[in-house]
């Protein structure tokens, strides 16, 4: 049965970003599953034939390398982990290209690090490259450059769910589809009987956040808590997101046919400007400021700039032009922006009116350089 809400979303979604998780690309022993790669190649080709511009963010490099090298499990040593990723990445892209070429399509490998998206010029270069590839009719296949990255491999910074969200923001894709081995968001602990799948989430509030249950394995990172943060990011910027089970046969076709598979997270408001998305989500804050309730209200409900008088505490070491987080006194992030002051300068003027100090800028963060994120924990 066609879901009308999904039909409305897909009518606008000419470009779609799909993220495929490690657990659905590898078997129990960690080997890359060529049958799964072939299945997704076929599904991507079908989607292209229907007129959708498809971008794939694919996990599986480390899992593929583990299988190809015959290792018993994921190495803990960083150098070994990077070596395994290098071996696995080549196998991964070879497999995708092999099956896509049979269908008259080309795989275009793009390996990214956080630095590529944090610097504005590099960010725009990546966007231009992706758009050019889509114009050529290629299928961009994106992964983290695990051979060069360090923090990405050791922390959730390297979660490909987040990378997929950044790519969706980057090219203003109206829809992000996250495929892993879970069916979607449930109304309780999915391990218990009687729990039901939630087909549509209209808004991510405290009751929805409470439904996150992580499932930890030795092969991949993330979990429902991570996916809800990503859903909040995407919907806050005006996009839609679907979480679905990638092991469901022809899952992409079922989703693109507007069938009720997985959980759909609906957009909140209009599309956020591209530059605002970059400020709010592509860059890790270099520090943060805690503001009083009156200041928080002015930023959230009145569209004001951040002034020194509302700042109660400055945390971290940052410079003029860095992105910093703006948080309430209890630590909840409400926004991110480009600061006009370094942390040392800001400590000198925090809590003061503009008439009490002489400086080049009245605002700490101008409203044009501030993105309201209202991040969930």
pLDDT in tens, 145-187: 866 655 444 433 457 888 999 999 999 999 999 998 889 999 8
Report the pLDDT value the prediction gives residue 226, as an integer from 0 to 100.
Answer: 85
User: Looking at residues 37-48, what average pLDDT do you find?
Assistant: 96
pLDDT tens digits, 221-249 = 447 888 999 999 999 999 999 999 999 99
Phi then psi for residue 23, to 5 deg, are -65, -20
Question: Of 18, 88, 86, whose CA–CA distance to 57 is shortest?
Answer: 18
Distances, alpha carbon 232 to alpha carbons 208, 256, 312, 333, 374, in Å: 11, 22, 27, 13, 9
- Comparing 47-56, 132-141, 237-246, 355-364, which segment has the lowest mean pLDDT? 355-364
Say what angle helices 34-49 and 78-101 make with each other, to 10 degrees.
50
Reduced to 3 states, what is the DSSP secondary structure of residue 114? helix
Do the beta carbons of residue 14 and residue 50 sit within 8 Å? Answer: no
Mean of pLDDT over the chain: 89
User: Looking at residues 311-327, what average pLDDT do you find?
Assistant: 97
Task: Tell me which CATH homologous superfamily contains domain 285-372.
Answer: PUA domain (2.30.130.10)
Report the pLDDT value the prediction gives residue 3, as an integer from 0 to 100.
Answer: 81
pTM for this entry = 0.89
- Which of 252 and 88 is assigned the larger pLDDT? 252
How many Cβ atoms are within 10 Å of 166's Cβ, its own excluded?
25
Do the beta carbons of residue 220 and residue 282 sit within 8 Å? Answer: no
pLDDT band at 102 (very low <50, low <70, confident <90, very high): very high
| Residues counted in the chain | 377
Domain topology for 4-276: Carbamate kinase (3.40.1160)
- Comparing 50-59, 158-167, 170-179, 338-347, which segment has the lowest mean pLDDT? 158-167
All CATH 2.30.130.10 domain ranges of the chain, comma separated, are 285-372
All CATH 3.40.1160.10 domain ranges of the chain, comma separated, are 4-276
- Which of 217 and 245 is assigned the larger pLDDT? 245
């Amino acid at each position: 049965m066609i879901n009308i809400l999904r039909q409305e979303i897909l009518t606008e979604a000419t470009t779609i970003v799909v993220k495929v998780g490690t657990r659905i690309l590898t078997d129990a022993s960690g080997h890359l599953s060529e049958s799964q790669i072939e299945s997704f190649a076929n599904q991507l080709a079908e989607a292209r034939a229907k007129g959708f511009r498809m971008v794939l963010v694919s996990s599986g490099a480390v899992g593929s390398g583990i299988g190809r090298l015959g290792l018993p499990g994921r190495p803990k040593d960083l150098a070994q982990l990077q070596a395994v990723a290098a071996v696995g990445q080549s196998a991964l892209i070879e497999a995708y290209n092999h099956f896509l070429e049979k269908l008259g399509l080309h795989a275009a490998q793009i390996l990214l690090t956080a630095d590529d998206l944090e610097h504005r010029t590099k960010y725009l270069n990546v966007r231009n490259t992706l758009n050019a590839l889509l114009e050529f009719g290629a299928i961009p296949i994106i992964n983290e450059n695990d051979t060069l990255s360090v923090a990405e491999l050791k922390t959730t910074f390297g979660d490909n769910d987040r990378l997929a969200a950044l790519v969706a923001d980057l090219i203003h894709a109206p829809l992000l589809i996250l495929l892993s081995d879970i069916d979607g968001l449930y109304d309780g602990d999915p391990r218990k009987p009687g729990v039901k799948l939630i087909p549509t989430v209209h808004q991510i509030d405290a009751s929805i956040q409470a439904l996150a249950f992580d499932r930890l394995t030795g092969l991949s990172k993330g979990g429902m808590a991570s996916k809800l943060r990503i859903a909040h990011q995407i919907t806050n910027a005006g996009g839609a997101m679907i979480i679905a089970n990638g092991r469901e046969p022809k899952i992409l076709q079922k989703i693109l046919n507007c069938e009720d598979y997985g959980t759909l997270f609906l957009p909140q408001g209009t599309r956020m400007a591209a530059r605002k998305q970059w400020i709010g989500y592509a860059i890790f804050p270099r520090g943060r400021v805690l503001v009083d309730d009156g200041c928080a209200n002015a930023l959230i409900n009145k569209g004001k700039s951040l002034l020194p008088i509302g700042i109660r505490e400055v945390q971290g070491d940052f410079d003029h032009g860095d992105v910093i987080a703006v948080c309430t006194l209890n630590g909840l992030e409400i926004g991110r922006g480009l600061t006009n002051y370094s942390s040392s300068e800001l400590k000198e003027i925090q809590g003061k009116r503009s008439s009490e100090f002489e400086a080049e800028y009245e605002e700490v963060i101008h409203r044009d350089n501030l993105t309201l994120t209202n991040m969930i924990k």
